[in-house]
Amino acid sequence: MRRAVCPGSFDPIHNGHLEVIARAASLFDEVIVAISTNYAKKYRFELEDRLEIASETLTYLRGVSVRPMGDGLLAEFCREQGANLIVKGLRSSADFEYEIPMAAMNRQLAGIETVFIPAEASYSHLSSTLLKEVAALGGDISSFVPKAVLKRLSEDPR
Ligand code: ADP
């Protein structure tokens, strides 16, 4: 049984994330999308909303579940969930530089391997931060995010 954890803040989840999660679901038996909360960080969407949006959007994928990760160690969360793999999307050399030390640490701390999935070219420019900026300035992000995100944005424009 290959159970992988796909962690992130997903504030909000977008098509680049969805594509990586779908590819992970085709590679592993189970994928746990782990939504983090860092209490020092300010989010656009509350944890409950981020969980709901991801759950609603990912129902079409077999073997994928969505869970809150809290603000503890990712290696500890993986151990609690019985997962020994982490899946990350890689967009650029900046992602690579940031992710490699974390991957080495998770392997040394807990024997957890990190698998990188290269971002699909048409989504490699997407980040939650950029999409929030574009949406806040009135730009149309409907081709980059699932319907559940557009719905929340229209209910609570800021
Ligand atoms: P963070 O927790 O750092 O805010 P995100 O929630 O934005 O991260 O993203 C979670 C994961 O998804 C990260 O591994 C990130 O590299 C990956 N990811 C983010 N955007 C994309 C994208 N456009 N294509 C592929 N993977 C992505």
Q: Which CATH class is domain 3-155?
A: alpha beta
**Atom nearest to 128 CA in ligand 1:** 7
Q: How many angstroms is it from 38 CA to the middle of ligand 1?
A: 16
Does the annotation count 41 as an active-site position? Answer: yes
Tens of pLDDT, residue by residue over 5-60, are 999 999 999 999 999 999 999 999 999 999 999 888 999 999 999 999 999 999 99
> Which protein residue's CA is at the shortest distance from atom 16 of ligand 1?
89
> Which protein residue's CA is at the shortest distance from atom 5 of ligand 1?
8
Q: Is the pTM of this model over 0.85?
A: yes
DSSP state of 119: P
Domain range list for the chain: 3-155
d(CA 155, CA 87): 32
Does the annotation count 17 as an active-site position? Answer: yes
Residue 81 φ/ψ region, left for φ over 0, alpha for ψ in the -120 to 50 degree band, beta for the rest? alpha
